[in-house]
Chains A and B, each alone.
Chain A
Amino acid sequence: MSSKNSKYLIFLGCAVPYRVSSYEISARKVLQKLDVKLVEMPEFNCCGLPLDPVSHETMLILAARNLALAEQTGLNILTLCPGCAGTLKKVNKILKADKTLREQINGHLKDSGLEFKGTVETKHILQVLTEDVGLEKIREAVVKPLVMLKVAEHVGCHLLRPKEYIGFDDPEDPQTLKKLIEATGATCLDYINETECCGAPSVGVSDKVALQLARDKLNHVKMVEAQALITICPFCHIMFDTNELRIERMFSETYGIPVLHYPQLLGLAMGITPEELAFNELRVDTSKLLQVIGVH
């Protein structure tokens, strides 16, 4: 790996430090072992996505601020949240293509001594693992193949859509996460409506609708007898792990399906302990799963 794709500015976003530190802890452990160096953002503001529904211009300025801050460091960005990755990618593309808009947005950044130039690339951790680290190196790092495991994946929306701006994998039949799961030795099961939304963005507007979306997915995951559900997004993880008990109570269902961040699954295969991978922070009980793997 060249330094350009082995050293990244880590963009944590808001949801990860707020509620999903297990994702950050496990991601940092795994990346360190795979020789990906992480540098902290010198200053941070939200990527802008949550405010896009209220003010598109505000979203553009917030995203451009982060990109301009990153440009000063000369490092590319790695995100854990697909929402952040998607937003930063999209705004980078829009502002590079539209000179008038770029000048308008840069007018807002000028007072802070910042300028968006479009020299930095943003990648989600999944993209770094596939494109920069590579499946071969990941397979080599696996010391404890998880051949006894059958899991399902939920890749979510913003890593892939809208495809015009993201241009990564195939949103209708995404393969990246499946291949990464298979690299750990585990089997990745297909299920109905695999690419559908978890419902998270509708929380707060209509919790009922949001939780029904998550429930529908959990039902399909249960039907194929997956031993765990693998996510790569803090919001999807909250929907399936944090809310799993709530969904069970609300709709009289029983799941008991552990929901792991992909770095937690990979970490187990790399011989990292569940404690180091922050399994204790997960809401759904993982003891059975860890017993199957033989680490407990």
Chain B
Amino acid sequence: MTETTATQKEPVKASEIDPKFKYELSRMHGGEKLLRCFQCGTCTSDCPVARFSDTYRPRTLIHMAQLGLKERVLNSDTLWLCAACFTCTDRCPQGVDVASVIRVLRNLAAEKGIVPQVFKDQAASILESGYAYKIPSLRIKKRETQGLPPLPKGNPEKIRKALKGVKFLENKEKEEEQHEQQEQ
């Protein structure tokens, strides 16, 4: 994924602003304290990713959310750079769970179908095997020679059952259907 912030640099149009967005976010689990942020910048100055990225700034993402720049923030590539180390959350003087606000924004972006490939791969693997990575069968067999007990089995059928009604699975199943139709 490229690190572009064109979406952040273009001038803001009034029609882009969704004044209800911040309230929508603050009703979501993890977003509750968004309105408390007074833009001090502790999150950005303490962020290990921001030190090495020219574009990732947690304060900017929080500001965009507060201003109601919904489409802009949800389409921003930088949203996915957060390493979820929770330093910002632990150090915010206003008690804003910054990392979780960013997670809430990512969840909303994902609902619109914006998900980096790495997360798509992990999701597919979990639904297939229970494990987030496709563990090669050779590795599973090797466990015996390494003196390790057999790897506990996943139960993909039951995982899907448990996720019934969750938007994430519904979207995933739609994707799978489309994929099957394309193949036929």
Q: Which of A44-52, A127-135, A262-270, A284-292 faces chain B? A: A44-52
User: B135 contacts A213, CB within 8 Å?
Assistant: no
Give the shortest distance, in Å, between A19 (CB) and chain B (any CB): 8
Question: Using Cβ atoms and an 8 Å threshold, which residues of chain A touch B168?
Answer: 51, 54-55, 57-58
User: B139 contacts A278, CB within 8 Å?
Assistant: no
Q: Which residue in A19, A51, A157, A210 is a CB contact (below 8 Å) of B87?
A: A157
Q: Is A163 an interface residue (CB 8 A)?
A: yes
Give the shortest distance, in Å, between B118 (CB) and chain A (any CB): 3
Question: Using Cβ atoms and an 8 Å threshold, which residues of chain B touch A28?
Answer: 148
Q: Which residue in B29, B116, B130, B163 is a CB contact (below 8 Å) of A61?
A: B163
Residue on B nearest A204 in the bound complex, by CB: B118
A282→B110 CA distance, assembly (Å): 37
User: B84 contacts A53, CB within 8 Å?
Assistant: yes
| B48-101 with Cβ < 8 A to chain A | 48-49, 51-53, 56, 80-87, 89-90, 97, 99
Question: Using Cβ atoms and an 8 Å threshold, which residues of chain A touch B115?
Answer: 54
Question: Using Cβ atoms and an 8 Å threshold, which residues of chain A touch B158?
Answer: 65, 112
Q: Is B151 an interface residue (CB 8 A)?
A: yes
Over the window 139-182 of chain B, the binary record of Cβ atoms lying under 8 Å from chain A Cβ atoms (1 yes, 0 no) is 11011001111111111001101111111110000000000000
A18 and B119 in contact, given A53-B107, A206-B53 (Cβ under 8 angstroms): no
Q: Which residue in A19, A101, A157, A205 is a CB contact (below 8 Å) of B1?
A: A205
Total interface residues on B, CB under 8 Å, equals 65
Over the window 200-227 of chain A, the binary record of Cβ atoms lying under 8 Å from chain B Cβ atoms (1 yes, 0 no) is 1111111001101100100000000000
Q: Which residue in B56, B90, B131, B169 is a CB contact (below 8 Å) of A161?
A: B90
User: A162 contacts B132, CB within 8 Å?
Assistant: no
Q: How many A-B residue pairs have CB under 8 A?
A: 191
User: A42 contacts B110, CB within 8 Å?
Assistant: no
Q: Is B106 an interface residue (CB 8 A)?
A: yes
Question: Using Cβ atoms and an 8 Å threshold, which residues of chain B touch A101?
Answer: 29
Q: Which residue in A164, A193, A197 is a CB contact (below 8 Å) of B83?
A: A197
| A1-34 with Cβ < 8 A to chain B | 12, 14-15, 17-19, 21, 24-25, 28
A108→B80 CA distance, assembly (Å): 28
Give the shortest distance, in Å, between B150 (CB) and chain A (any CB): 8
| A147-197 with Cβ < 8 A to chain B | 157-158, 161-164, 171-172, 193, 196-197
Q: Is B30 an interface residue (CB 8 A)?
A: yes
Q: Which residue in B81, B103, B146 is a CB contact (below 8 Å) of A52?
A: B103
Q: Which residue in A25, A44, A108 is a CB contact (below 8 Å) of B147?
A: A25
A21 and B148 in contact, given A53-B80, A53-B110, A109-B162 (Cβ under 8 angstroms): yes
User: A40 contacts B85, CB within 8 Å?
Assistant: no
A25→B147 CA distance, assembly (Å): 8
User: B131 contacts A44, CB within 8 Å?
Assistant: yes
Give the shortest distance, in Å, between A102 (CB) and chain B (any CB): 13
Interface centre among A14, A65, A203 (most CB of B within 10 A): A14
A111→B159 CA distance, assembly (Å): 11
User: B122 contacts A17, CB within 8 Å?
Assistant: no
Q: Is A80 an interface residue (CB 8 A)?
A: no
| A61-96 with Cβ < 8 A to chain B | 61-62, 65
Question: Using Cβ atoms and an 8 Å threshold, which residues of chain B touch A15?
Answer: 132-133
Q: Is A199 an interface residue (CB 8 A)?
A: yes
User: B159 contacts A62, CB within 8 Å?
Assistant: yes
Q: Is A56 an interface residue (CB 8 A)?
A: yes
Q: Is A43 an interface residue (CB 8 A)?
A: yes
A19→B134 CA distance, assembly (Å): 11
> What are 7 inter-chain pairs, A to B, with CB distance below 8 A?
A25-B146, A40-B150, A43-B155, A65-B158, A108-B162, A197-B49, A197-B87
Residues of chain A whose beta carbon lies under 8 Å from any beta carbon of chain B: 12, 14-15, 17-19, 21, 24-25, 28, 40-46, 50-58, 61-62, 65, 101, 108-109, 111-112, 157-158, 161-164, 171-172, 193, 196-197, 199-206, 209-210, 212-213, 216, 278
Further contacts, 9 of them, CB under 8 A, given A12-B151, A54-B119:
A19-B133, A21-B139, A25-B148, A46-B122, A50-B122, A65-B159, A157-B87, A162-B86, A209-B53
